[in-house]
């Protein structure tokens, strides 16, 4: 029989209130997976459709992992096998997700896919060892699983970096959404590191029992919001050569561009400032109006602040 305490898990792990929080986490992940699936069905872009579908599958796999852990605490003889099976399924789903991500965004150099693929192989080896060499379980969960999580963390850091570069260089889209997406990914990785070995030995029992599921729910919800809002734009930015609609020239890689928040048409910043701000978006006539309206509101706010200061002095 597996002794959870010897593996670092605190007493009451996934029981009581903790169990309720994890069942809610499963429900939230399934809902987010359905939302991603529905958005994939609506998308007219095949690369966005592929990435949203694979992300949906990754969420379902993660919810399956949590479900197997919930079941495993009542069948301790099989806890390790169920747990590692869930880890294997999750890392495999993440590998497919990164494969489609990099297949459509060619500038990422395949590092996330290779990292998550290696994590999947480690998980498969872990399942085999847990079945045939149960005496090695302690070493297995602390060493091999730590290696797998480290590889996935490397992939996630690059993922966050790509979102950061996109949010920095593409004007017109909401930077707040990009920040939420990055923070969501970071929260999700923190939640995963808390809830898996050796994190369960490092963090206090209260954090492992109650904070981990809350952090995961918040993280994946924030990330999903960013994915749904910006996936088509980030796909276009990394996968296609950008051409300014006004002067018809290629926008060099790494240069700032303006992406209409209404229709996604791109312009170089020079043409946007000289033409589009005055004429409005050439495709939908809405994007630049929104941009100008925001600038106008900001100018009015500054003028009112100056007027208030002038009144207070008098």
CB 205 within 8 A of CB 14: no
Longest Cα–Cα distance of the chain, Å, equals 85
> From CA 27, how far away is CA 307, in angstroms rounded?
52
Q: What is the mean pLDDT of the chain?
A: 83
Q: At 239, list the tokens.
A: 């996968």
pLDDT at 222 over 80: yes
Question: In order of start, what are the domains of the chain with their CATH numbers?
Answer: 4-238 (1.20.1070), 257-313 (no CATH)
Banded model confidence at residue 289, pLDDT cuts 50, 70, 90: low
54: pLDDT strictly greater than 90: yes
Question: 160-169, 279-288, 294-303 — which is least confidently predicted?
Answer: 294-303
Give the pLDDT confidence score for residue 77 in this predicted structure.
83
Q: Is the pLDDT of residue 10 over 70?
A: yes
Whole-number pLDDT of residue 299: 58
> 110: closest CA among 144, 158, 54, 72?
158
Query: What is d(CA 59, CA 152) in angstroms, rounded to the nearest whole number?
Result: 15
CA angle 67, 73, 75 (to 5 degrees): 105
Task: Assess contact for 85 and 127: CB atoms under 8 A.
Answer: yes
pTM here? 0.78
Q: What's the rounded mean pLDDT across residues 199-203? A: 87
What pLDDT does residue 75 have? 86
Flag whether pLDDT at 199 surpasses 80.
Answer: yes
For residues 272 and 225, give the distance between their C-alpha atoms in angstroms, rounded to a whole number. Answer: 28
Confidence of residue 166 (pLDDT cuts 50, 70, 90): confident
pLDDT at 223 over 60: yes
- Is the model's pLDDT at 202 over the cut of 80? yes
Q: What is the pLDDT of residue 88?
A: 92
Give the separation between CA 157 and CA 161, rounded to whole angstroms.
6
Residues 94 and 116 sit within 8 Å (Cβ to Cβ): yes
- By percentage, how much of the chain surpasses pLDDT 90? 33
Span 232-258, average pLDDT = 74
Residue pair 213/191 in contact by the 8 Å Cβ criterion: yes
């Amino acid at each position: 029989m597996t002794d959870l305490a010897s593996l670092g898990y605190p007493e009451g792990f996934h029981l009581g209130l903790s169990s309720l929080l994890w069942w809610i986490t499963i429900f939230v992940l399934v809902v987010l997976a359905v939302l991603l699936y529905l958005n994939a069905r609506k998308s007219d872009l095949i690369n966005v459709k592929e990435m949203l579908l694979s992300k949906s599958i990754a969420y379902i796999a993660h919810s399956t992992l949590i479900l197997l852990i919930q079941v495993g605490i009542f069948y301790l003889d099989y806890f390790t096998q169920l747990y590692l099976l869930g880890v294997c399924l999750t890392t495999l789903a993440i590998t497919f997700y990164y494969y489609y991500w990099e297949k459509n965004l060619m500038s990422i150099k395949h590092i996330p896919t290779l990292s998550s693929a290696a994590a999947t192989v480690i998980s498969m080896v872990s399942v085999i060892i847990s079945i045939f060499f149960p005496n090695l379980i302690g070493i297995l969960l602390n060493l091999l699983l730590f290696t797998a999580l480290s590889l996935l963390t490397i992939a996630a850091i690059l993922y966050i970096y790509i979102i950061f570069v996109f949010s920095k260089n593409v004007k017109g889209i909401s930077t707040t959404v990009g920040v939420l997406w990055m923070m969501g990914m970071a929260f999700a990785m923190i939640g995963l590191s808390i809830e898996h070995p050796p994190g369960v030995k490092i963090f206090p029992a209260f954090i492992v029992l109650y904070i981990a599921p809350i952090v995961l729910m918040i993280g994946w919800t924030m990330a999903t919001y960013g994915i749904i809002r910006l996936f088509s734009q980030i796909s276009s930015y990394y996968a296609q050569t950008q051409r300014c609609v006004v002067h018809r020239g290629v926008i060099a890689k790494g240069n700032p561009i303006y992406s209409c928040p209404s229709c996604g048409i791109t312009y170089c910043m020079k043409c946007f400032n000289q033409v589009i701000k005055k004429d409005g978006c050439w495709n939908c006539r809405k994007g630049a109006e929104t941009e100008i309206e925001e600038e106008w509101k900001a100018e009015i706010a500054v003028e009112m602040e100056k007027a208030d200061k002038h009144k207070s002095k008098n």
